[in-house]
Amino acid sequence: MNREELLKLYDSDLEELILKAEQITKENFNNEVEVCSIISARTGKCSENCKYCSQSSYNHADIICHPLLSVEEVYQSALKAKENGATRFCIVTSGRSEPGEDFEKILQMIKSVSSIPNIHCCASLGLLDEEQIKKIKEAGVERFNHNINTSKNYHSKICTTHNFEDRIKTVKSVTRNGIEACCGVILGMGETKFDRIDMALSLAELNPKTVPINVLNPIIGTALENCVDKITQEEVLRTICIFRIAMPKAILRYAGGRNKRLSEETQKLGLRAGINGLLAGDYLTTKGEEIKKDKEMLKELNLEITVH
């Protein structure tokens, strides 16, 4: 669909919009939800100036920064995630992953996690060059997360140390080298509905395997700490529906902020409308939802966790 058609749907009756998205989901997926967990393998002191991020050196959030964890710590966290029902485990590092000793250690982390039966290794390592992407694939990364975060037109309002095209280039390089792309957004940073439609179109063109949908949880000490009530729960639902219509075969994943910004009822409606992935457990510097509570919610909706 083009921009005008998606805008018309965005403004249509909510129940009809949810029904349309629900039907598309049923046509393309089984009654399953893919569960992923993450670890912040390196936290803080990022050189990028993303306004939402507690790890940016430009912001002043009260977080505990640490250099790269040990390979064993990451391995044990992946085992714990598997015990809690996750089938995917993502190694996340703040900042750019420059070639050198730290990057070689990251490759060892990837190999370690990849050795665990029935756990698929993912990574989110910032902007990488072609050679680095080839190396992480060889080490065992099956899926790489690199979000567009917002629309092309709104990106400069959120970050200026890199541009929207840098992010697009990285995602395209990932898929070109045979790694699945995990590419999503952060809603509620002050963008308009037109930006949300443009996000859907940009993502549809990239054709990622999975799309994390974050809802901004304003963190004290960041440039967006006062950015509250910039999006309603209904607008989040409408955006989920539009993403499903624009990307019928992508896994749409609830990610950061949902436990703070969305009620349980809204989350259930989102699962009905097209969400078929969950980021379970804690996030990078904030608390997530308890996996036990997520499992109870999925059981109520007769949804099963994907088992590979």
Q: Catalytic pick from 122, 159, 183, 241?
A: 122
Looking only at the bridges linking them, the beta strands covering 88-93 and 143-145 are unpaired
pLDDT over threshold 60, residue 308: no
Split at pLDDT 50, 70, 90, the class of 226 is very high
**What's the Cα-to-Cα distance from 128 to each of 39, 67, 134, 155, 186, rounded to whole Å?**
19, 19, 10, 19, 21
Judge whether 159 counts as a catalytic residue.
Answer: no
Residue among 39, 35, 210 nearest 112 (CA)? 39
> Alpha-carbon distance 84 to 221, whole Å?
32
Q: Catalytic pick from 143, 253, 258, 261?
A: 253
Judge whether 253 counts as a catalytic residue.
Answer: yes
Terminal alpha carbon distance of the chain: 33
Upper half-sphere CA count for residue 219 (Cβ side, 13 Å): 22
Q: What is the pLDDT of residues 130-188, one digit of tens each?
A: 999 999 999 999 999 999 999 999 999 999 999 999 999 999 999 999 999 999 999 99
Split at pLDDT 50, 70, 90, the class of 1 is confident
> Alpha-carbon distance 300 to 96, whole Å?
41
Helix (H, G, I), strand (E, B) or coil at 289: strand
pLDDT over threshold 80, residue 112: yes
Judge whether 65 counts as a catalytic residue.
Answer: no
Judge whether 143 counts as a catalytic residue.
Answer: no
Average per-residue pLDDT for the chain: 93
The residue-averaged pLDDT of 93-120 equals 91
**What's the Cα-to-Cα distance from 168 to each of 8, 78, 184, rounded to whole Å?**
27, 29, 12
pLDDT over threshold 70, residue 35: yes
> Alpha-carbon distance 82 to 93, whole Å?
20
pLDDT over threshold 70, residue 209: yes
Helix (H, G, I), strand (E, B) or coil at 46: strand
Domains of the chain: 3-298 (3.20.20.70)
The residue-averaged pLDDT of 18-23 equals 98
CA angle 120, 123, 125 (to 5 degrees): 175
Bridge partner list, 145: 182
Split at pLDDT 50, 70, 90, the class of 303 is very high
Find where tokens 């629900």 sit: 22
What contacts 216, CB < 8 A, 6 or more positions away? 52, 186, 187, 188, 189, 224, 227, 230, 231, 257, 261
Q: What is the pLDDT of residues 243-300, one digit of tens each?
A: 999 999 999 999 999 988 999 999 999 999 999 999 987 777 777 777 888 989 999 9
Q: Catalytic pick from 36, 182, 183, 241?
A: 182
> Alpha-carbon distance 84 to 52, whole Å?
29
- Predicted TM-score (pTM) of the model is 0.94
Q: Catalytic pick from 36, 88, 90, 159?
A: 90
The residue-averaged pLDDT of 108-128 equals 95
* 200 CB neighbour count, 10 Å cutoff: 25
**What's the Cα-to-Cα distance from 208 to each of 13, 175, 261, rounded to whole Å?**
28, 8, 25
Split at pLDDT 50, 70, 90, the class of 307 is low
pLDDT over threshold 80, residue 225: yes
Percent of the chain with pLDDT over 70: 99
- 178 secondary structure, DSSP code: T
